[in-house]
Structure 1
Amino acid sequence: MHWRALLAAAVAVAAPGTLAAQLRFSCSQLVVDRLDPLVNPGQTPSPHLHQIVGGNAFNATMDPDQVDISEAATCTSCQFTEDFSNYWTAVLFFKARNGTYKRVSTIGNGLGYSASNGGQTVYYLSSGKVTAFKPGFRMVVGNPAYRSEADAKKNPALQFTCLASPMTRSGYRYDFPTTTCAGGIMVTVRFPTCWDGKNADSPDHQSHVAYPVNRNCPASHPVRIPEVFYETYWDTRPFNNKNLWPEDGSQPFVWSFGDRTGYGNHGDYIFGWKGDALQRAMDANCQSDLIQDRLNCPTLKSQSIAQANKCAVQRRVREDLDGWLKELPGAGAAMGGMK
């Protein structure tokens, strides 16, 4: 089945006959580090570990009043070379029966992007006319303090899929899968699509945006913006030996902030497209697809996955992230406030 058929549910909100943009592209791993310029700006290290993709201007501060990341970055790990945005999530760990932790790696999306050195598949979707983000725009979705399904359903666009193969697009759930997954675990993060039209950010990094109600933006957030949506493939296959799992058979995965339920799933976004590039792509209703290692959106410049793989930054926080660890980096500390 072609990936477009798998994406159909994602764009079902579009009105019949409405033109819709569907940008889909790979962003390779930029760095795995304990930095969070949104919730813990300037703090090195941040309380817990993140995996980051996008432009190499990513750093601990990223004050929009001091730097335009689309100008500061010199490369991007994303295929569209005018996209210097940064996208990040928490990091997944496996907790073995003996109590030690092992970091789970990301892998390229098997639906066209397996050449990527991990990272995420990023989507920008629209259903009709949208207004692209403004310089300095940023947002967060989800809450690492959530530990129940009722909490998680407050953000119904954050889900897990136990992959039987890269083609799996059923069985979505709000918590970690409880069985072994032959193709790994896919985590999806969808951001709100309505904006208040004024603020590039808000104190909780969430209040300036909202999800539509019955497909319509609420009066408090009247401006429709592109839907930022990303999928992360976590390579849990090396941990499918049940002899490593807890003796009671309970699922063994934990987020880097200490959540063993999965309900604390969350994602972060800082806009960094060059000039009007994103608006051009949305206005052109680009339907990007990977064709001979090139992306089908003529108004945008792109690079191969091999080129994107070369963009990386040095880890700022020096700590062991590759061996079997006695505790999570930062001891799994959750962040304060909304996140």
Structure 2
Amino acid sequence: MIRLGIIGCGRISDLHAQAYLDHPEATIVAVADPDAGNLAMRGAAWGVPESARYQDHRDLLARPDVDAVEILVPHHLHVPITLDAMAAGKHVSLQKPMALSIDDALMMVKAGHEHGVTFKVFENFVFYPPVVRAKELVENGEIGDVLSIRIKSNAGWSPTAWEVPAAASAWRIDPEKCGGGPLVFDDGHHKFAIAWHFLGLADRVHAFIGSWMGVLDSPSVVSWRHPGGQVGSLEVVYSPELQLHTVQYAQDDRVEITGTKGVIWVTRGHGRMLDAPPVVLYRDGETRGFSDMPTGWETSFHRSGQHFVDALINGTAPSLTGEQGAEVLAFALAAQESSRTGTAVSPQADDLGAGETRHG
């Protein structure tokens, strides 16, 4: 039985916790959050007794019955809390993006090895069933050799979207705390992870990151090239009057993967804009749709969290490892730097020794 502690009980924690609540070999034994309201609400919902609810994460880490922690805090707090957890001998699943710099990422990866703990950077999109199916189709040779990947992210509004607390929105637009904009750097991690999942780390990145009313990093375009000559792009647009079907964030995503003999489309992500099968394959002059899979965004969280538990039980590597998470971070940071300088940037993750595991 893997005994989990969750540090950070904000909006997104509901999706993370459900994976552990549903796993037959996992249990949530303690929670920590400086907000007493969050602590009481999530603690009660997850069956954690009041005696195991803490406002200081260090009190949770002092418990000998906590094997691993899920860290879900603002980006600028990732490093100190992760280092505290590792020093306490706890395995760590850390919310993406893992840090605000590659130096900080290196520090955490090194600490994980020194303390002999498993270190996972939480990424759910590589576990999203339509993306998983697309990867299977690629690996089965359905579109030949991959030549390009194109990703589109639409943000708008929805009458059924989550209500996000004001405090959670505030830190995401504070550069000192978030490290980049909420659409290209924070949510963009999912998109860079998808590109990395299919083609590995890019060697050149160029970006134009826009600004909507000084709040959101939109409209934006990021383009890149991989060492094998493949190319990719990410387009991020916020449309304030665009109504979306969703039960979480008011956003949706699409992915197009082009190969030497075919094309694959993943037609949804956070929500659902298109009335089409979640995965579509075109080859040999014919189009096939695949609908035999769950498509709720929450499914990807569930599978990612349960994968972490299984990795701890079986002694296998999680996805993403700290090294892999740092490669995705390098991708995202290169886009930020390119937009600042107006030049193409080479992602720097060479010191991590992650090249051998970059394809997940």
Please indicate, yes or no, whether the TM-score normalized by the shorter chain is above 0.5: no
Larger radius of gyration: 2
TM-score (norm 2): 0.24
Q: Which has the higher contact order (CA 8 A, sep 6+)?
A: 1
Which structure has more helix as a fraction of its residues?
2
Give the alignment's TM-score, normalised by structure 1: 0.25
